[in-house]
Structure 1
Amino acid sequence: MNSANKILKYTLYSAMVTGGLLVTSCAPQSKYRAPKLDVPDHYRGQDTLTMASDSTSIADIPWREFFEDEQLIELIDKGLAHNFDMLDAIKNLEIANQRAKQAKHEWLPSLNADLGNVNYQYKSKNYYGSASGNYYDHKGKEAPENMYVNSAQYTSALSLSWELDIWGKIRSKSAAALAEYLQTTEATKAVQTELIASIVEGYYNLLLLDAQMEVAQTNYDLTKNTLKIVELQRDAGQITSLAIQQTKNQMLVAKALIPSLKQQIANQENALSLLTGQLPNEIERNTKLADAKANETLATGVPLYMLSQRPDVQSAELDLKAKNALVGVAQTSRYPSLSIDVTGGLNSMLGKNWFNIPGSLFGGLIGEVAAPIFNKRKLKTDFKVAKIERERSEINLQKTVYGAIAEVTDALINLQTIDEQIDIAQEQVTTSRLGVKQSNLLFNSGYATYIEVINAQKNLLDSELNLNKFKQAKLLSRVNLYKALGGGWK
C-alpha cells in the first residue's frame, strides 16, 4: 500500500512540475487584441450642420427625453413591456446570463454522490467463470445450477473529479461565455432600439394619415361647392354639361381618398397594436402632424464615438472576443490534461454489513496525465477552423462598422435637404391656395373657365398632400439619425 502511495505522489509531482514548465513556454496566446478599424475622422456632410463636441451625440439622450409626445411615450412603454420580440430577447438574455454564471464555476471540481447502489449478478451453469468467483448465500445450501446469485454489492459513495486548468482552457471557456452573454445584452439593446424606432415611425404615419384625411375632406368640400356653382351656371345656360362631369370627377378624386385613408389608418393602428403586444384596437392621439415635435439637437460626435454607442457594433466586437477565446479553447484541447479523481464510501457484499464502519469503508485516489496523440486530425481541424471563425468575425466587425457609418451619413444627408424641401412645398401650397381663390373670383366674374378652377383645386390637393409628407419626413429623419447613432436603448 505504501509503495502505491509513493508511486501516486511521484506521478502527481512530476505532472505538476512538467505542467509548470510547459505553461511558461507553450501557453496559448488567446488574449484579445482589438483590431485596427478603418474609421474616418468625421461623417460625410457633417461639416454642413451645427454639431456639438466630438465626445457627445444625440445618442446620449434617453429616449424618454428625446420624444416629447406623452401618448407616443405611453405607446413605447407598452411596446417595451409587451412586444413579443422584446420579450423573446429578454428570455435570450436570461439564458445567456445563466450560462455565464455556470461558466464562472468551470474551474471547480465535480462532486457526485451515489446514495444507494444495490448490484446483483445472476448466473447459470453454462456461464464461463472461475469457481472462486461464485457466491451463493442461502443458509448453507449449495447453489442451484441456474440463475443463482453469483455476486452481490451494496455501495454508497462520493466521487470527486477535478481537471486542473494548467493551460487556461477553462479560463478561455469562461471568457467566451462572458462575451456571448454581453453580446446577447447588446442584441437586446438593438431589439429595443429597433422597436422604439418602429413604434415612432408607425405613430408618425398615423399623424400623416390624419393630416391627409383632413386635406382630402377639405378638398372634397371645396370641389362640392364648386360643383353647385357649375350646376347653377349650367341651368342658366352659361356652360354645358361637360363642365359638370369634369367638376364632379375632380370632386370624386378627393372623395375617393377618404375611404382609402380610413383603411390605411385602421391598418396602421393594427400594426401599432401588434408592435405594442396588444390586440387590434384604435390608437389614441391628440397631436396633429403640424404640431408634432422632435428633438432639435443635431450633435453626432465622431464615428469613433458612435462605435461605442451602437449595439450592433458592440455585439460584433463581442462576437470577435468570443471567437478569439474559442481559439484558445481549441488550442489547449491539443495539450495534455491533468486531472485528479477521488472516490470514497461504503461497500459491502451483504446488505446487513452495508453501513458497518469501518469494515465497509473504501477509498481511491487517481492522478492522471492524458494527452491526445492521434485523433483523426480532429483537434487540429478544430483549431484551424476556430482561427478562421475569428477572422470571419473580424471581417464582420469591419462590415458592421462601415454599415453604421453609412447609416449615419444617409441620415445627415436627409437632414441637409429636408428643410429646403419643406420650404419649397410650403411655397407651392401658398401659391396653390392663392390660385384657387383667384380662379374662383375670376370664374364667378366670367374671366376664367371651370377648367382653370378644377386645375387650381387639383394643384392645391397635390401640394398639401406633398407638404404633409415632407413634414413627416423631417420628423423621421431626426429619429433615423438618433437610431443610427445608437440611441433608443437607454
Structure 2
Amino acid sequence: MKRLAYIKAIVGLFAAFLLIQGCKVGEKYQQPDLNLPEKFRGDTLAYFGDTSSISRISWKEFFHDPTLKDLIDSALTYNYDMRTAMKNIDIANKWMRQNRFNYLPEVDATIAGVNKQYRSKEFGSGPSTRWYDRKGTKAPENMFTYTSQFGTEIGFSWEIDIWGKISNAKDQLTAEYLNTQEARNAIQTNLIASVAKGYFNLLMLDAKIEVAKRNLQLNDSTLQMIKLQYAAGEITALAIQQTESQRLLAASLVPELEKDIVLQENALRILIGQMPGEIKRGTSSEHLFAENKDISLGSPVEIVRNRPDVRGAEWSLVAANANANIQQAMRYPSLSLEGVFGVNSMLPKNWFSIPGALLGGIGGNLTAPILKNKKLKIQWEVAKLERDKAEIAFQQTVLEAVSEVSDAVVTVEKLREQLDFARQRVENSDKAVRNANLLFKGGYATYLEVITAQGNALNSDLDLVELRQAHLESYVDLYRSLGGGWR
C-alpha cells in the first residue's frame, strides 16, 4: 500500500507538470516600431545608381589600392582589439553551449562516503546499533559511537523547465553570443575605416611635402632674382629680407610634415599590431576605392540589417527581454526530480554486500516561493525596466545611425563641390605666380606682389591637398556608416 501511494505521488507530480506545460510565462520578443524614413536625407548622389547597396560590398572590393588592402588584412589579423573581440566570442560560445545541457539532469557520484558520529550521555540516547555488544564491550558514557555508515552512491537531480527558465536562458545566451559577434564586426568596420584614413593621411602628407619643396624651389629662384636686382641698385635690402622670410616659411613646413609622417606611420603600425616602423605606400592616390555606377546608398531599413552597432543593440534588447521572462518565471513553482542508487552499510565489512547493502530512492518536489521579502518581485520589475532601457537604446542607436548616414552623404557631396572650387583656385594661383614673375622682371610689379602670389599659391596647394584627403575620408565614413566593412 505504501509503495502504491508513493507511485501515485510521482504520477501526480508528472500530471501537474503536464498540466502547466501550456502556462509558460513571459513575452515573446517583437521588434519595436523604429519609424524609419523611406530614404536618407541628402540622398542626391547623382553618380550612384539604384541597385545594390554600398554596404554589401566587401572591403576587398571597395578598396583598390593593394598596399592599403595589405594593411587592412594585417590589422584584422593582428590588431589587439580584434583579437580580444575574438576571445569574447569564444567565451560567449562556451556559455551558450553549456546551457544546452541544462535540460539534462545533474548527476553526482560519491565514490566513498564514511560517516561516523559520536555522542555522550547528555545526548539523551544510547548507541544506535549493537556494535558494542558484538565487540563484547560496554558502550562508554562519553563519546560512544552513535552512527556508523559506509556508502558509495550515484545521485541525480532534474529540474523540469516548466515556465521556460532554461529556454529563456538559452535565448539570452544566444543573444549575448550574437551580440559579441556584432561587437567584433563593429570593431572591424571601425578598424578598417581607421586604417584607410591613416593611409590616406600618409598620402596627403607626402603630397604636402612635395608642395612645400616645390614652393621652396620657387622661392629660391625668386630670391636669386631679387638679389640680382638689389646688386643692381633697383630695390632695397628690405625686399631680400621679406623674400627670405617667405622662403623660410615654406622651408619650415618640411620638418613639420616629416614629423607628422613618422607619427602617422607609428599610429598605423599600432593598428596593425606591430612595433613602430615605416609604412609602405602606393604609387598613386587616384582610384583608391570603388566608384561604381551600379551601387547605391540603399534604404534606411538596411541600416537595421547591416550596421553591427544597430544589430548589437537589438540583440541586447532580445537578451534583456529573455532575462525579464526568466525573472518572472522565478516567481512561480518549480518541479524537480531527485534520485539516488548505491550501497550503504553500518559496518565496513558489509560495505559492498549485495543485495543486503543496496540503496535506492527517488523523489519529486514541487516547490514555490512564499515570502522572499519582495526580492523576486523587485528583480522582475527591475528586469522589465532594463528591457525598456534596452529598447530605448536600440531606438536611439537606429536614430543616430540614420542621422550619421545623412551627415556622411551631405559631406561627400559638399566636399566634392569644394574640390571643384579648390582646383580652380590652384589654377588661378599658378597663373598669378607666373604673371607676377613676368611683371616683376619687366618692372611692372613689385616684389611684394610676387611674394603675395607665391604665398597664395602655397596656401591654395595645401588647401587642395587637405580637401582631397577630407573627400577620401568622407567616402570611408559613408561606407562605414552604412554598415560596410564587416563582410
Deviation sequence 1:324-371 (CA, Å, 0-9, x none): 111211111111111100111122223332222222211111110001
Matched letter for residue 9 of structure 1: I
Identity within the alignment, %:
44
- Gap change, CA 1:427 and 1:58, over 3 Å in 2: same
Paired residue for 1:391, among 371, 388, 393?
Answer: 388
1:58-457 equivalences under 5 Å are: 58-123=54-119, 125=120, 128-133=123-128, 140-142=136-138, 149-289=145-285, 291-297=286-292, 299-457=296-454
The one-character-per-residue Cα deviations of 1:214-258 (angstroms, maximum 9, x if unpaired) are: 111111121122112212221221111111111111111111111
Measured against aligned partners, the alpha-carbon deviations of 1:414-471 in whole angstroms (never above 9, x if no partner) come to 1211221111101111111111111111112221111111111101110000001111
Q: Distance in 2 between matches of 1:70 and 1:163?
A: 58
2:455 is aligned with 1:458 = yes
Q: Is the Cα contact below 8 Å between 1:295 and 1:478 reproduced in 2?
A: no
Which stretch of the first structure deviates more once superposed, 402-411 or 346-355?
346-355
Contact 2:333 2:366 in 1 (8 A): yes
Given that 2:173 and 2:319 are in contact with CA atoms closer than 8 Å, whether structure 1 keeps it comes out as yes
Structure 1 residue 134: Cα displacement: 6.8
The answer to whether the 8 Å contact 1:230/1:244 transfers is: yes
Counterpart-to-counterpart distance in 1, 2:20 and 2:143 = 55
SS state at 1:345 partner = strand
> SS of the residue aligned with 1:132?
coil
2: CA distance, partners of 1:262 / 1:149: 89
> Do residues 467 (structure 1) and 456 (structure 2) align?
no
Q: Secondary structure at the match of 1:32?
A: coil
In the alignment of these two chains, the number of paired residues is: 484
CA-CA distance at 1:321 after TM superposition: 1.1
CA contact 1:135–1:150 (8 Å) conserved in 2: no
**Residue 43, structure 1, aligned to residue 50, structure 2:** no
Determine the C-alpha separation between the residues in 2 that align with 1:225 and 1:53.
Answer: 53
* Distance across 2 between alignment mates of 1:443 and 1:321: 75
The CA distance in 2 between the partners of 1:239 and 1:135, in whole Å, is: 131
CA distance in 1, matches of 2:113, 2:362: 20
**CA distance in 2 between partners of 1:135 and 1:482 (Å):** 86
Distance of 1:446 and 1:146 partners within structure 2 = 129
Q: Deviation at 1:7? A: 3.1
Q: What is the TM-score when the length of structure 1 is the normalising length?
A: 0.94
Structure 1 Cα separation of the partners of residues 349 and 16 of structure 2: 47
Rounded to whole Å, the distance in 1 between the matches of 2:141 and 2:20 is 59
Are the equivalent residues in 2 in contact too, given 1:113–1:158 (CA < 8 A)?
yes
SS in 1 for 2:27: coil
Q: In structure 1, how many angstroms separate the alpha carbons of the residues matched to 2:73 and 2:451?
A: 47
Question: Match for residue 483 of structure 1?
Answer: 480
What residue ranges of structure 2 are gaps of 5+ in the alignment?
none
Unaligned runs of at least 5 residues, structure 1: none
Cα deviation, residue 170, structure 1: 1.2
TM-score (norm 2): 0.95
Contact 1:8 1:367 in 2 (8 A): no
Aligned partners of 2:110 and 2:442: how far apart in 1?
107
Structure 2 vs 1, CA of residues 343 and 441 (structure 1 numbering), >3 Å: closer, same or farther?
same
Q: Secondary structure at the match of 1:238?
A: coil
Contact 2:26-2:324 at 8 Å conserved across structures: no
Work out the CA distance in 1 between the residues paired with 2:209 and 2:287.
17
Once the two structures are TM-superposed, the CA of residue 390 in structure 1 deviates from its matched residue by 1.2
Name the residue aligned to 1:16.
Answer: 14
Aligned mates of 1:250, 1:6 — CA distance in 2: 109
Given that 1:175 and 1:325 are in contact with CA atoms closer than 8 Å, whether structure 2 keeps it comes out as yes
SS at match of 1:433: helix
The one-letter amino acid of 2:313's match is: A
Q: Is the 8 A contact 2:159 2:337 kept in 1?
A: yes
The root-mean-square deviation of aligned C-alpha atoms, in Å, is 1.9
Note the C-alpha offset of 1:149: 4.8
Listed one character per residue, the Cα deviations across residues 39-98 of structure 1 (whole Å, up to 9, x for unaligned) are 0001111145344436x3111111111111111111111111110110110000000111
Range with greater deviation from structure 2 (230-239 or 422-431): 230-239
Counterpart contact for 2:333–2:368, Cα < 8 Å:
yes
Distance in 1, matches of 2:360 and 2:171, equals 36
CA distance in 1, matches of 2:231, 2:131: 125
**In structure 2, C-alpha distance between the alignment counterparts of 1:395 and 1:221, rounded to whole Å:** 60
Distance (whole Å) between structure 1 residues aligned to residue 7 and residue 28 of structure 2: 34
Distance in 1 separating the partners of 2:185 and 2:205: 30
**1:109 deviation in Å?**
0.8
For 1:222, give the aligned amino acid. L
Which residue number corresponds to residue 31 of structure 1? 28
Deviation at 1:139, TM superposition (A): 5.1
Kept in 2: contact 1:346–1:355 (CA 8 A): yes
Q: Distance in 2 between matches of 1:140 and 1:94?
A: 65
Once the 2 structures are TM-superposed, how far is the Cα of residue 395 of structure 1 from its aligned partner? 0.8
1:289-312 CA distances to partner (integer Å, 9 max, x unpaired)?
3x3522114511110122201111
